[in-house]
Each structure stands twice: as C-alpha cells, then as structure tokens.
Amino acid sequence: MINRLKTYITFLLCLVMLNTNAGNAFKKYVVDLYGHLISINFNADFFSSRDKILDELSITNLLKAFEEQDNDSLIKQLDKYSAQFKMDDIAYLLMLNKVADEVYDEESTDLKTLFKYGLLKEKGYDVILGYGTHSLTLYGYLNLKVLNVLYIQKNNKTYTDLSFKQNAEPLTEREFTAGNSSGGGRSFNINEHSPPLFNAKKSKRSYHFEYDAYQYFVNSSINQSLVEYYHDLPDIEFNSIYLNYGLSAGTRAELVKQLQEYTKGMYTAKAVDFILCFTQYAFDYKKDADAIGKEKFSFPEEVLANPYSDCEDKSVLFAYLVKEVLGIHSIALFYKSQEHLNVAVPSTAKNDINFTYNSVGYTVCEPSGLGLRPGEFANDVRTASIIQW
C-alpha cells in the first residue's frame, strides 16, 4: 500500500513538472512598438540554444523545428496588432523586427533572420533566404522602390534586402532552396495614402521666423510615435506618398490653423511668400549626409521634429502647407546634376510665371534658399525633371 502511494505521488509530481515545463516554454515578451507596449507569448527555446548558422543542413533543421511549433497563436497575436494599428506590410515587417529584437539577444542576428523568414513564409510572403560564410540575408519581393539597398534578381523579379541597410557591400551568398522554399507568395505592399495609427508619444516644438519686419512664432504638437516609425522606414523612392502622408491629425489641426490665421487677408502670392519664408527660416538647413550620415527623404511630420532639413525635406513641407493652408497644388522640380529639389506653384500673374507646363503657368519657389522670394532661384528650370505629387 505504501509503495503504491509512493508511486502515485511520484506520478503526480512528474505531471506537475511536465505542466510547469510546458508552461515555461511559452514566455511573455513586452515589445515597445513606437510607444505602444504590446505583449507577445511565444516559445523561442528551440532557437535560443543553437550554434551559429552556416550551412543548408543547419538551416533546414532549425526551420523544421520552427515549423513543428504551433505558430498559429503567434501569427494571430501579430495580426491582431496589425489590424489594431492599421498596418500595411512594411509596418508589419518593422513590427516583426522589434519582436525579433526582444526575443533574441544582440548576438543572435542569424536567429532573428531565420525567425522572420520562417514566420513570413507561413504568412504567405514571397521571401528568399541567402546564406554565406558569415551571415544570413532575408530578401523580399516589394511592390515599391527602395533606394540604396542590396537587391537580387530571380525569375524576372527584384528581391530587396529586408534589413534595408543602406550602401551595403554586395555579399557572396547561396540561396537556401531546401523544401522548395522560395519563388512564390505575395509581395510586400505599402499604403501610399495614410500611415499606421501609431500615436502613443507626443512632443512639442516652437518655431520662430521674421517676415516683413514682424516676428512670428508658431507652436506645434508632434506625433513622436509616427516620427520614430518614419525613421525606421527605408528610403522610399521620391513620389506622392510623402505629401499623401502629410501631418498627423492633431499636428495638422494645430499648425495649419495658426498659418491660416497669419495669412488671413493676404492675397495669394503674398501668402505663398509667407509660407515660403516660414520653411526657409524656421528650420535649419543641413545635408542628410552631414546630419545623419545617409540620404533619407523625410515626411512632413519628421521635418517638424528633426533638428535639420535639406532641400527635399523643406520642399515636401512647403508643398504640403501651401496645399493645406491655401488649397494650392504644386509640382516638384528635380535637378539631377545638382542633386537639388524645389517646388513650383501655379500662378495667374503674368509677371510671376517662370515656365509653363500642361498649359499652366508656374512660379518657382526655393524652400531651402534663404531670402529667395517666389520666382527667384539659382538653377536653370529647363534642366529640371517634373515630379507630380
């Protein structure tokens, strides 16, 4: 009887230990998603104790271990947050980066890459895994053009390095092909009309400039969560997305209202000049290479938050403000040889017209040229390419 009781107690203890271990397999990770704290429950043990990944066999074994997991729960958790914040595919990818950084330590770069590859494959994305002597690279088929990053070609498609590392040296790699792992699935798309709904962090800025011998002060709140998100975005080819995203609702309401008050009663040309002066003097100029060490087109909310702006940044902000404050739709002028950008606004005053495009007369405005009034500019507009936005 005593022996049976001992056996029964031992059996119960084993069950408790098994249940405890099973419970410990899943760990709660709290991820800072641009100020929003999101919780992810995930079992990462099958990756965390592995050696550095160097060959196809080790990749195959790790992916097999990953696929044998029940990843539906993890995907559902990520999809829930994706829906909550209205993320597109690029925002989803950036969220996945933050999850991988939280789950795996700084030294586990290959494990992070393999984790993202396995999950994105299960999600149905068109991704390719490259491996070499020292590292793994995750490539994806994007429905947008990203500048200054690594690409590979396969099946008449261009696959982009999803780390978005700028100006990286080309790598000697092989494609991981076990289990027919690549060459299919959906592309990564971006919502070109509105950003995700990140809004947990706020900041305040005050801007000062002088116009017609009067001192003006403009105060604005800034959606710092969006600014941080924009900083993580890759350098997207210059197009209408920069104007489409504009300012967050709170920032727009505050800034646009003040500028409308200041320009109330001004005739259109003077109001354009006023906003031009604001973008010239309220934001310090510095080239991106000198300010942040790389080229990066900025969204209007970023321009308000950044300590420095270059010609593209000021042009985007100016074009957005004349549209929102004055209802004027502009075009951009790109001077390739000078690597310069400025803006042209439609004009009905014959003396103010610098050139005609599609039967409309335009006046050139130089948002990065201190003291240059509408119609004053340094570059030959005949050499410029026109960008519609």
Residue 6 is predicted with a pLDDT of 45
Rounded (10°) CA dihedral 118, 124, 127, 130: 30
- Sheet with 174-175, strands from edge to edge, namely 151-154, 157-161, 136-141, 127-131, 174-175
Predicted pLDDT of residue 372: 97
Residue 214 CB-half CA count within 13 A: 7
Token code pair at residue 113 = 């890459």
CA neighbor of 247 nearest in space, from 179, 338, 317, 185: 317
Beta-ladder partners of 27 = 42
Residue 280: per-residue pLDDT: 98
Alpha carbons 318 and 345: distance in angstroms, whole number: 10
Which run of H or E residues covers position 283?
A: none
Tokens of 235: 């350098």
Largest Cα separation within the chain, whole Å, is 110
Q: How many angstroms separate the Cα of 19 from the Cα of each of 11, 15, 24, 27, 73?
A: 12, 6, 9, 14, 19
Is the CB of residue 74 less than 8 Å from the CB of residue 29?
Answer: no
User: Helix (H, G, I), strand (E, B), or coil: what is residue 302?
Assistant: helix
This prediction has a pTM of 0.88
Residue 75 exposed, middle or buried by CB count within 10 Å (0-12, 13-18, 19+): middle
Q: Domain ranges in the chain?
A: 46-175, 202-388
CA distance 194 to 242: 10
- Residue 176, CA atoms < 13 Å, CB-side half-sphere: 29
| Burial readout 85-102 (b: 16 or more C-beta within 10 A, e: otherwise) | bebbbbbbbbbbbbbbeb
Could you give the residue ranges of the DSSP H alpha helices within 224-351? 224-232, 241-245, 249-263, 268-281, 288-291, 300-305, 311-326
Q: CA 115, CA 100: separation in Å to the nearest integer?
A: 7
Q: How far apart are CA 252 and CA 250, in angstroms?
A: 5
Residue 367 has which token pair? Answer: 């948002």
Compute the distance between CA of residue 31 and CA of residue 39 in angstroms, rounded to an integer: 6
Q: Which of 197, 195, 233, 190 is nearest to 84 (CA)?
A: 197
The DSSP H or E segment spanning 72 is helix 72-84
Helix (H, G, I), strand (E, B) or coil at 200: coil
Extract the tokens encoding 213: 């011998």
Residues whose CB is less than 8 angstroms from the CB of residue 377 and which lie 6 or more positions away in sequence, other chains included? 342, 354, 364, 365, 366, 369
Token duo for residue 352:
């103010």
Query: How high is the pLDDT of residue 47?
Result: 63
Fold of domain 202-388: C8orf32 fold (3.10.620)
Q: Give me the pLDDT at residue 46, please.
A: 62
Q: How far, in Å, CA of 187 to CA of 131, rounded?
A: 21
Q: For residue 25, what pLDDT is reported? A: 67
- DSSP H helical segments within the chain, as ranges? 2-25, 45-48, 56-68, 72-84, 89-103, 109-123, 224-232, 241-245, 249-263, 268-281, 288-291, 300-305, 311-326
Report mean pLDDT in 10-residue bins for the chain, 389 residues: 46 40 69 97 69 76 82 94 98 97 86 93 94 88 92 92 87 76 80 97 96 96 97 91 95 96 96 98 90 86 96 97 97 94 91 94 96 94 93
